[in-house]
Structure 1
Amino acid sequence: MKLKRSIGWFGIMCASLGGIVGSGWLFGSLYAAQMAGPASIIAWLIGGFGTIFLALTFAELSAMFPISGGVAAFPIFTHGKLVGFILTWLTWITYVVSISQEVQSTVLYMGHLFPSLVQKVDNVSVFTSFGFVMCFCTMLFVILLNSFGAKFLANANSLISVWKLIVPFAVVIVFLLTSHNSDNMGLTSTSTQEFAPYGISGILSAVALAGVVYSYCGFQHAALLAGEAKRPQRDIPLALIGSIVICMVLYVGLQYAFIAALPESALANGWSKIAFAGDAGPLAGLAANLGVIWLVTVLYIDAVVSPLGTGVLYVASSARIVQTMSQSGNSPKFFSKIAKSGIPMRAIFLNFVVAMLAFLPFDGWKSIVSFLSAALIFSFAVGPICLVALRKQQPERNRPFKLPFYQLTSFIAFYICNLMIYWSGWTVVWKLSLTVTVGLTVFLLTNFLNRSRIDPEHIATKLDFKCALWLYPYMGVFTILSYFGSFQGGTKDIPLGIDFICMAVFSFVIFYMSQALCLPKAESDRNTASLLAKKKSA
């Protein structure tokens, strides 16, 4: 059964908006302020503009290939099976863990109202047994919502997205009207604060570690749902760019309102140790301190609606990635089946199991978000690389949205990806490197075990090791640069400023290698035609 093209541009943009406005806005303002002070506003601007460059590359790719789960297909078109698997593996892991993250955000937030859900262990809020049961029930509810089909999901998400935008904008207005202390920004002669107390390093670290990048990463839901768009040639570019601009305005406004509303007592020990009653749910706690009780109630309601609305989208998007992996031969064919509702339910239930297991190794919102941000951005690097490769491999293909200055724009997008990962620091990058290594091990083991049972219908049955030769130094050298870098956990042997130059040279070399080692045109055409045929007949 074919995926149903039943979603208009507004529904697609709401999918992207719904993906972006999740738990990030509920927690990001506090953590960004702790890491960068009032200059955290700059962190949100950097994150937003950087994401726009990435979105532009996905706009061309998604309009050219309006297929569901396209992010999993692009590297197979350009570099074959191994690169396709590694990048798709990483994307799938991050999307599935993001489902857990959003469900965790809701249950943890509710723990302040229902103490039986959480308990303190080493000053960290973790789930009780009852809390895990509620996580299971909440996750099951999110899964069931996806079973109603793409059109129902889009219509419901359109309503949820409107709510998710109204509430944070209302918070901005109420905070500014109730308590607007501009001296907190550190820009006036009477201010006792500094605008950038931790310098450029604090701003850049906030981009990577405080939930800024994570908050913007949901833009890709518009691309992943391209297969259900009525007019993908117009809808996808508009939805991607429009959603990011709207959310950038929202996040910058929210950060300013949060900083301006902070009482002096909250800053008594400096920005890194902001503290006030109820700060575990920072916006609700601040609203309570300001005496706006009705807003506290609204925020607790939104703590359910926003994360779960985003979780629903991650369930849908991650299932389509599994479906594409199955169609390309990188996961069992069992998961490629589409239910009568037009939804890949088998893939959704696989993700349900993995998402529940993902609760176990993480013990807090900030710890998991730091990893997810770096992993998502690493997987996004496939966009600019694939765009340039496809211009060379398939120049004759129709491109409804054609990115101007595509080589320069794609390189800038790739460079931005690498900077954002680098700003995460060694403490995150080594985990990312380990995840990629595990993916490579799974790939090699799977192909070894199936070497005598290759399905002739699979796409890219060749392993394409040569086309992946750029990927090994990419991850290896990146890990070394992070170890000697100036950000969290690094030895600081590479000074701030010099590392920008090092990363630019490194990015150029890897970008060039990725283009030199892409598939020949004939193989790229064959992989593309085979996978598109499977999508059409699925």
Structure 2
Amino acid sequence: MKLKRSIGWFGIMCASLGGIVGSGWLFGSLFAAQMAGPGAIIAWLIGGFGIMFLALTFAELSAMFPISGGVAAFPIFTHGKLVGFILTWLTWITYVVSISQEVQSTVLYMGNRFPSLVQKVDGVTVFTSFGFAICFGTMLILILLNSFGAKFLANANSIISVWKLIVPFAVVIMFLITSHNSENMGLSATSTQEFAPYGVTGILSAVALAGVVYSYCGFQHAALLAGESKKPQRDIPLALVGSILICMVLYCGLQYSFITALPESAIANGWNNLSFVGDAGPLAGLAATLGIYWLVSVLYVDAIISPLGTGVLYVASSARIVQTMSQSGNSPKFFGKIARSGIPMRAIFLNLVVSMLAFLPFSGWKSIVSFLSSALVFSFAVGPICLVALRKQQPERFRPFKLPYYQFMSFLAFYVCNLMIYWSGWNVVWKLAVTVTAGLAVFVVTNFLNRNRLDVEHIATKLDYKCSLWLFPYMGIFCILSYYGSFIGGTQDIPLGIDFILVGIFSLIIFYLSQKMCLPKAESDKNTASLLEKKKSA
């Protein structure tokens, strides 16, 4: 079946805007300011332009293969089963952890109204035992909504998207009107503040750790509509670049209005100790401090609608990933069973357990988003690699949108991805390495247990391990650079500036190896045809 090309650039741009403006904007301004001071505005610009390069590579891939789960499918087309599984595993983990993150966003904001939900531990807002119980109950509600309310949520999506754009712009305007102290920016000779109190390292760390990258990652929703665009060669880059630029203006405006609205008492002890009454829900807390009580009510409503609306989607998507892994022999058959309601409830309950466990290694919203940002970027980094590989493997395939200067643009996107992961620091990178290693262990065990079973793409014993050999030095060398790097958790033996060069050389080597180790054309064609047929019949 051929998709109808019925969506114009405006429709695609709205999809991208709705995906980008999620729950991250509710907390990003506070945490970015704590890490970079007023220089956090630069962090939002860097994150936006970096994601823009990456989005354009996915525009070509998604236009060629307008299928759900493309992030996990593309590496199967180019590098086979093992690489495909690792990326699918990582995507599943990010989706499941995202359920925890979205629930956190809502319950943390409610902590302003109900103090029994949260407490401060070493300056970090965390949940009380009662708060954890509410999180668990909220996740059960997400399951209920996913089972019975999906159609309603789909119909309400357009209204929710408009709401998600109006509210943050209203916050910017009201903060600027009510309180605008430009001295907080540290740009004048009379200001007592510094624009970048923690230097370049603070700004770059904020890109990776404060929710900046996470806030931009919703571009993928627009990329998935590329196959239904009326004029993809024009509309895709216009919509992606346009939506990201609009969000850059929004986020920079939000950051500026937040900083200039802060009372002097909030930053009296330095930006890293920035705090004020109600900062568990920072925008609502600041609005209350400024006396804008109607906006406080609006923000509390948004703190329920935006995160939980996204959480329902993550519950559904993560369950389908488990179901697909079960069907291909990479997870137990038990989780692939469909209930009478047509919902893979066993997979959903598995994700419920894992998402609750995700609270254990992460202390607070920023910690969980720091991991999510790096994991998402790591899974997205395969996009530029797959684009170049497919130009070689399947040059005859029709590309509704072709990225100009594709080799240079793809490498640049890959390099930017690696920088953003590196900026997250050793404290995050080692968790990412453990996650990838755990995925490898699951792959080896499940394929050993199913070694005599056929799956759609391959005989299960054919693992395409030779095509995955570049992936292991990629993760291993990343750990070494991060451990000795200048960012949080590193030993700081590699000076700032030199590390940019080292990450560039490292990126070039891995990029080259990934192209040398891709599948032969015949295997690539076979995988593509098999998986597309499976998606078509699903």
TM-score by length of 1: 0.91
Partner of 1:471: 471
**Does residue 1:72 correspond to 2:65, yes or no?**
no
Contact 2:116 2:128 in 1 (8 A): yes
Partner of 2:404: 404
Matches within 5 A, 1:380-419: 380-419=380-419
Whole-Å Cα distance in 1 between the matches of residues 65 and 112 of structure 2?
45
Q: State the secondary structure of the residue aligned to 2:156.
A: helix
Q: 1:159 to 1:7 in 2, by over 3 A?
A: farther
Partner of 1:158: 158
After TM superposition, the structure 1 stretch with the greater mean CA deviation from structure 2, 333-342 or 194-203, is 333-342
Contact 2:126 2:363 in 1 (8 A): yes
After TM superposition, the structure 1 stretch with the greater mean CA deviation from structure 2, 431-440 or 127-136, is 127-136
C-alpha distance after superposition, 1:53-74 (max 9, x if no partner): 1111111111110111111111
**Does residue 1:306 correspond to 2:306, yes or no?**
yes
Whole-Å Cα distance in 1 between the matches of residues 317 and 450 of structure 2?
27
Q: CA deviation at 1:332?
A: 5.0
Partner of 2:361: 361
Q: 1:487 to 1:291 in 2, by over 3 A?
A: same
Whole-Å Cα distance in 1 between the matches of residues 98 and 159 of structure 2?
22
Q: CA deviation at 1:152?
A: 4.9
Q: CA deviation at 1:382?
A: 1.0
Q: 1:425 to 1:13 in 2, by over 3 A?
A: same
Partner of 1:482: 482
**Does residue 1:457 correspond to 2:452, yes or no?**
no
C-alpha distance after superposition, 1:280-305 (max 9, x if no partner): 22111111111111111111111112
Q: CA deviation at 1:330?
A: 3.1
Whole-Å Cα distance in 2 between the matches of residues 243 and 183 of structure 1?
31
Matches within 5 A, 1:92-111: 92-111=92-111
Amino acid in structure 2 at the alignment position of 1:355: S
Q: State the secondary structure of the residue aligned to 2:27.
A: helix
Query: What's the C-alpha RMSD, in Å, of the aligned pairs?
Result: 2.9
Whole-Å Cα distance in 1 between the matches of residues 108 and 211 of structure 2?
17
Whole-Å Cα distance in 1 between the matches of residues 285 and 296 of structure 2?
8
Whole-Å Cα distance in 1 between the matches of residues 239 and 320 of structure 2?
19
Whole-Å Cα distance in 2 between the matches of residues 222 and 335 of structure 1?
30
Q: CA deviation at 1:349?
A: 4.9
Q: 1:523 to 1:498 in 2, by over 3 A?
A: same
After TM superposition, the structure 1 stretch with the greater mean CA deviation from structure 2, 245-254 or 19-28, is 19-28
After TM superposition, the structure 1 stretch with the greater mean CA deviation from structure 2, 419-428 or 264-273, is 264-273
Q: CA deviation at 1:498?
A: 0.8
Partner of 1:266: 266
Contact 1:62 1:236 in 2 (8 A): no
Whole-Å Cα distance in 2 between the matches of residues 181 and 473 of structure 1?
49
**Does residue 1:196 correspond to 2:196, yes or no?**
yes
Amino acid in structure 1 at the alignment position of 2:516: A
Q: 1:337 to 1:78 in 2, by over 3 A?
A: farther
Whole-Å Cα distance in 1 between the matches of residues 304 and 57 of structure 2?
33
Contact 1:460 1:527 in 2 (8 A): no
Whole-Å Cα distance in 1 between the matches of residues 247 and 344 of structure 2?
30
Contact 2:44 2:251 in 1 (8 A): yes
Q: State the secondary structure of the residue aligned to 1:485.
A: coil
Q: 1:475 to 1:351 in 2, by over 3 A?
A: same
Contact 1:40 1:255 in 2 (8 A): yes
Matches within 5 A, 1:2-13: 13=13
C-alpha distance after superposition, 1:324-368 (max 9, x if no partner): 545554345676688999976665554334323323433311111
Contact 1:80 1:460 in 2 (8 A): no
C-alpha distance after superposition, 1:434-469 (max 9, x if no partner): 1111111111111112113x1253446320110011
Partner of 1:206: 206
Matches within 5 A, 1:123-162: 124-147=124-147, 152-162=152-162
Amino acid in structure 2 at the alignment position of 1:286: L
Q: 1:48 to 1:535 in 2, by over 3 A?
A: same
Partner of 1:180: 180
**How many aligned residue pairs are there?**
535
Partner of 2:219: 219
Q: CA deviation at 1:315?
A: 2.9
Whole-Å Cα distance in 2 between the matches of residues 527 and 312 of structure 1?
31
Amino acid in structure 2 at the alignment position of 1:96: V
Contact 1:57 1:403 in 2 (8 A): yes
Q: CA deviation at 1:145?
A: 3.8
TM-score by length of 2: 0.91
Name the % identity.
81
Contact 1:184 1:193 in 2 (8 A): yes
Q: 1:516 to 1:486 in 2, by over 3 A?
A: same
Q: 1:362 to 1:425 in 2, by over 3 A?
A: closer
Q: State the secondary structure of the residue aligned to 2:399.
A: coil
After TM superposition, the structure 1 stretch with the greater mean CA deviation from structure 2, 232-241 or 252-261, is 232-241
Amino acid in structure 2 at the alignment position of 1:117: L
Whole-Å Cα distance in 1 between the matches of residues 451 and 285 of structure 2?
57
After TM superposition, the structure 1 stretch with the greater mean CA deviation from structure 2, 355-364 or 470-479, is 355-364
Whole-Å Cα distance in 2 between the matches of residues 203 and 253 of structure 1?
17
Q: 1:236 to 1:377 in 2, by over 3 A?
A: same
Q: State the secondary structure of the residue aligned to 2:366.
A: helix
Q: CA deviation at 1:374?
A: 1.0
Contact 2:110 2:281 in 1 (8 A): no
Q: CA deviation at 1:252?
A: 0.6
Amino acid in structure 2 at the alignment position of 1:186: G
Amino acid in structure 2 at the alignment position of 1:457: V
Q: CA deviation at 1:483?
A: 1.0
Q: CA deviation at 1:12?
A: 5.8
Contact 2:45 2:252 in 1 (8 A): yes
Contact 2:457 2:527 in 1 (8 A): no
After TM superposition, the structure 1 stretch with the greater mean CA deviation from structure 2, 373-382 or 297-306, is 297-306
Q: 1:251 to 1:473 in 2, by over 3 A?
A: same
Contact 1:221 1:317 in 2 (8 A): no
C-alpha distance after superposition, 1:367-421 (max 9, x if no partner): 1111111111111111101111111111111111111111111100000000001
Whole-Å Cα distance in 2 between the matches of residues 226 and 405 of structure 1?
19
Whole-Å Cα distance in 2 between the matches of residues 333 and 221 of structure 1?
30
Q: State the secondary structure of the residue aligned to 2:401.
A: coil
Whole-Å Cα distance in 2 between the matches of residues 312 and 16 of structure 1?
18
- Which stretches in structure 2 are left out of the alignment for 5+ residues? none
Whole-Å Cα distance in 2 between the matches of residues 62 and 402 of structure 1?
11
**Does residue 1:518 correspond to 2:515, yes or no?**
no
Contact 1:226 1:232 in 2 (8 A): no
Whole-Å Cα distance in 2 between the matches of residues 239 and 317 of structure 1?
24
Contact 1:83 1:471 in 2 (8 A): yes
Q: CA deviation at 1:101?
A: 0.4
Contact 1:149 1:343 in 2 (8 A): no
Q: CA deviation at 1:535?
A: 0.6
- Which stretches in structure 1 are left out of the alignment for 5+ residues? none
Partner of 1:446: 446
Whole-Å Cα distance in 2 between the matches of residues 132 and 333 of structure 1?
31
C-alpha distance after superposition, 1:183-231 (max 9, x if no partner): 211112222211111111111011011111111122223445779x686
Partner of 1:255: 255
Whole-Å Cα distance in 2 between the matches of residues 328 and 232 of structure 1?
35
Q: State the secondary structure of the residue aligned to 1:376.
A: helix
Whole-Å Cα distance in 1 between the matches of residues 531 and 358 of structure 2?
30
Amino acid in structure 2 at the alignment position of 1:506: F
Q: State the secondary structure of the residue aligned to 2:494.
A: coil
